[in-house]
Amino acid sequence: MTEDIRRVVTELAGEYETGRVFELAERKLAAGDADWVARLGIAVARERTSSGDHLWQYRSVGDYVLRLLTLTPGRDNVEQALRLIATASPADRRRQSYAASLLAAGQSPADLVVAIAGGSSSGGPPEELRACLVHELVLRGTAIAEMRSIARWATSAHWQYHPLAWLPLELSGLEAARSLPSYHARGGSFAAPYGPSSQEGRPLPDVRGKAVPSARDVTTPVVSAAIGAAVANWVEESNGKVEAKVFDLVSPLRAELMPGALAALSLDCLSGLTPRSRLTLSACPSTRAWQVLFAAASSGGAYNHGLYGAYGRLAAWQSIAGLCGANADVPAAEVERQAQVCDWFSFDADTGWFEQVAWEIGLAAVWPRRCRLAILAATDTD
C-alpha cells in the first residue's frame, strides 16, 4: 500500500490532468479504505512542502482529497480528514477555516463531535479548526446548546480570548437570511445576494433637487475599518474598492430625502453623478444588510475565496456594528438591538466608480433620531 501511494505521488508530477488520481481515490473510499485516501493526501502535502508548492498537480490532488474526505458522510471519513488537516500548520487560519466549512457542509453534527470535543485543549484537533467549526455549525442551524460535549468546549474558558468567542452560539434574528456554499468534491457554488432583492422596498423617489440637511464628515480610521470589515478581503486579495464613511447631519433626515442627501455627500462612489444619472435607492431590512455583508465576507470577491463561514460571520457583525454605531466591546445582542432601530437602505448608481460587473454593494444606515448617516460602498471586478 505504501509503495502504491509513493508511486502515485511520484508519477503525479508528470501528469497532464489529475482525473485518474481522483478516480483512484474515489474507488478506494467507496471500498471503505478512507485510511488510504488520507495517506495519499498526507503524502501529497509533504511533497508540496518539499517541492516548494510550485506544481499544480499537487495542489489539485491535495484539495480534492481534502474535499473527498470532508464531504463524504461518515465518522471514519471525519477522523481521516482530521489526520490530513493536521498536516497543515495550526496557525494557518485560512486553511483551518476552509476545512471547517467543508466538514460542516458534508458531515452530520453528531459525527463532528470528535472534531470539536475530542482530545484535550493541548491535543486533538487544532483549536482554530474547532473554533471555526462551531460557528460553521451555528450558521447551518445546529443547536449547540443541545450538544453537550460541543457546548462544553465552546463555552470553556481556555479559548475565551479567541476572536470568534465574541460571536453568539445561536443564530440571531439578524442572521435569518444567509447564503451558504454548496460544495462537492470537484467544485462548488455560492449564490451571492447582490443586486435587487424581494426583501427590499420600492425605490424611493429621486428628489436630488430638494434641500437636504447639511452634513459633516466625522469618519475616523477605526470606524472606517469597522464598517469595511466585511469587504476588506475584496481590497486585500482581489481588485476591490471600498468607501466607508460616517456623517453628522444638522437636522433629521426623512427617508424620502435620502437620494438627495446621498448625492450631496461628495462621496467618491457617487462622483460624477448628474441629474440624468441613475441613482437607485431602496429601503431594506437589517437582515438584508447582514445577508449582503456575510456573503461579501464569506465568499469573497472576483479573485479570492473570502473568509469562509466563521470569520465571514464575524466580519459581517463587525461591519453591522460599524454602520449602526455600536461600540466594539459591546455584546452581539446590543449590536443587533442597535441595528434594528436604524433605518437601512441599499443603493446603486451608474457612476464610473462602480465596476458594474457582479460584486457591487451600497448600504446606508440612518441612526435613531436621524442625525447621523453611515455609508458603505464596495465594488470588485475580474
User: What is the percent of the chain where pLDDT is above 90?
Assistant: 62
Report the chain's terminal Cα–Cα distance, integer Å: 44
Q: What is the mean pLDDT of the chain?
A: 89
- Helix orientation angle between 2-12 and 34-51, rounded to the nearest 10 degrees: 40
pLDDT tens digits along 116-126: 986 544 457 88
d(CA 100, CA 66): 11
Predicted confidence (pLDDT) per residue in 27-72, tens digit: 999 999 999 999 999 999 988 877 766 688 899 999 999 999 999 9
Q: Identify the helix (H) or strand (E) that includes residue 281.
A: strand 279-284
Counting residues of the chain whose pLDDT is more than 70, the rounded percentage is: 91
The architecture (CATH level 2) of 189-380 comes to 3-Layer(aba) Sandwich (3.40)
Distances (CA, A) of 133 to 112, 136, 207, 318, 326: 9, 5, 48, 20, 27
Mean predicted confidence (pLDDT) in 95-99 = 95
Residue type, 232: A
pLDDT score of 355: 81
Cell of 283: 429601503
**Predicted local confidence at residue 198, as pLDDT:** 40
Q: Are 297 and 229 in contact (CB under 8 A)?
A: yes
Give the closest residue to 187 by CA, choosing from 371, 22, 51: 22
Smallest Cα–Cα separation from 77: which of 42, 110, 120, 33? 33
Domain ranges of the chain: 2-175, 189-380
**Rounded distance, CA 358 to CA 301, Å?**
9
Calpha distance 226→247 (Å, rounded): 15
pLDDT greater at residue 376 or residue 359: 376
Model confidence pLDDT, tens digit, residues 142-173: 999 999 999 999 998 878 889 999 999 999 99
pLDDT one-digit tens code per residue, 280-334: 899 999 999 999 999 999 999 989 999 999 999 999 999 999 999 998 889 999 9
Tell me if 118 sits within 8 A of 76, measured CB to CB: no
pLDDT value at 197 more than 80:
no
What is the DSSP-derived secondary structure letter of residue 203?
B
